Structure 1
Amino acid sequence: MNQYEVMYVIDTALEDSARTELINRFNELVVKNGGEVERVDEWGKRRLAYAINYKTEGYYVLMYIKAPVDLPRELERNLKISESVLRYLVIRYEGELPAKREMNRPVREAAEAPAASAVEAPAPAAAPAPVEAASVEAAPAEAVDEEAPVSEAE
């Protein structure tokens, strides 16, 4: 059996229970066709890089599976048929399962965090930058040497 990494983006308009049911349906499809689901990582709601079907956010799901060669085609067919799936990608990989890592915070929390830290952070003290700029501007003017005209009489 080959190892595959499957990522798909679900429409955020789907309710939580329907989204969970959809994820379970894809997991059951893998098991029913002779595969094995190694891990399912739900990344949560994230902003899309560009609008897909007029949607700007999607719910990301990453799935690692071991499956026979013909299973990815059937899984892709089901992902394509589902109207709730905005995009999907199935990749075969070799080696060990990547370690689970903590993903970035969801869109709402990430937007609130910089705003909160901006309020708490004190304003930086004014630096004497104009004084330094004046001395830097004066230095090139002094360094310019004019050459005397060379006479061609010799």
Structure 2
Amino acid sequence: MKQFEVTFIVDPVLSGDELKSTVDTYTNMLKNEGCKIVAIDEIGLKQLAYDINKRSSGIYYTIEFQSESGEIIAKMELALRRDERIMRFLTVRLDKFGVKYNEDKRAGKIAKVKEKVKAETPKAEQPAPKPSYKKEEKPVEPVAAVEPEEPVNSVETTEGE
């Protein structure tokens, strides 16, 4: 059996019941065509990289399923295009590495590996301060306030010299 994954973004304005009915519509379509649903994953509300239909966020869902042939893909993509609740979608055929990765992710092995790596790596020690090569400056003493001198009222000039 071939394994596929369809990820779609649903309009965030919809209520919880409408979101559930949207996902149920596509899972029922797949089941009616003889596909085996492997996993349904609600990724949740995410910020979009750019606005789609004047929306800056969307609710992401992923349905992973198995099918004997890829004939259902064309029907499903047509339904996704026509559905106004769906902002974007992407259907991918998984190879053996993608299937293994998704199985490990669902089993929790992927997250555990990341936690082990964090636990095994010791915290970086603070490096010793580098010696400074700057000249030591002597502290500057404050200058006493200078009193203004008396203003000069006249200026003498010599003429004709």
| Shorter-normalised TM range | 0.5 to 0.7
Rounded to whole Å, the distance in 2 between the matches of 1:24 and 1:30 is 10
User: Secondary structure at 2:134's aligned position in 1?
Assistant: helix
Q: Number of matched residues?
A: 108
User: Could you tell me which residue of structure 2 aligns to residue 75 of structure 1?
Assistant: 76
TM-score by length of 2: 0.62
User: Secondary structure at 2:13's aligned position in 1?
Assistant: coil
Q: Which amino acid aligns with 1:48?
A: L
User: Could you tell me which residue of structure 1 aligns to residue 4 of structure 2?
Assistant: 4
Rounded to whole Å, the distance in 2 between the matches of 1:5 and 1:33 is 16
- Write out aligned runs for 1:97-116 (5 A): 97=100, 98=102, 99-100=105-106
Q: For 1:78-137, what per-residue CA distance to the aligned partner results, in whole angstroms no more than 9, with x for missing partners?
A: 111100100000000122351226xxxxxxxxxxxxxxxxxxxxxxxxxx99x95x729x
User: Could you tell me which residue of structure 1 aligns to residue 28 of structure 2?
Assistant: 28
User: Secondary structure at 2:29's aligned position in 1?
Assistant: helix
Alignment pair present for 1:57 and 2:51: no
TM-score by length of 1: 0.64
User: Could you tell me which residue of structure 2 aligns to residue 16 of structure 1?
Assistant: 16
Rounded to whole Å, the distance in 2 between the matches of 1:28 and 1:53 is 27
Q: Which amino acid aligns with 2:134?
A: S
Q: For 1:21-61, what per-residue CA distance to the aligned partner results, in whole angstroms no more than 9, with x for missing partners?
A: 01011000000111111000001111001000110000000
Rounded to whole Å, the distance in 1 between the matches of 2:73 and 2:37 is 13
Alpha-carbon RMSD: 2.1
Gaps of 5+ in 1: 102-127, 137-154
Larger Rg: 2
Q: Which amino acid aligns with 2:15?
A: E
User: Could you tell me which residue of structure 2 aligns to residue 148 of structure 1?
Assistant: none
User: Could you tell me which residue of structure 1 aligns to residue 119 of structure 2?
Assistant: none
Gaps of 5+ in 2: 109-128, 136-161
User: Secondary structure at 2:18's aligned position in 1?
Assistant: helix
